[in-house]
Amino acid sequence: MSEPKDAPARDAGDVLVTVHGRVQGVGFRESMIAAAMALGVSGWVRNRIEGSVEAVLRGTPQARQALLRWSQRGPAAARVERVEVRPASAQESELVRDGFRRLETR
């Protein structure tokens, strides 16, 4: 499910964000980890084999929304084309630990 760029984060539960464009090989994951930690968002981020980056975000609606806004532009070398947001599945949420971490490519 895609949401408009200015759509608010859902009020409850974790969200899965998939970012498309030139988002691999540009420091996107490391930059997202730093942004998430600064905002107090927990979760994880990983590259996808098909070229996107996906992440699960857990935190206050305001903190998640701030990280969603960040993900629409990413680091300077990224060229974000599209951001999709949907509720995270139970399986995706189970991977969340304290802090924000990088997972293996899938």
Catalytic position from the list 29, 79, 82, 86: 29
Taking the C-alpha atoms of residue 103 and residue 85, their distance in angstroms, rounded to an integer, is 19
Check if 64 is active-site: no
Tokens read off for 49: 């084999």
Check if 101 is active-site: no
Catalytic position from the list 10, 22, 46, 47: 47
Annotated catalytic sites, by residue? 29, 47
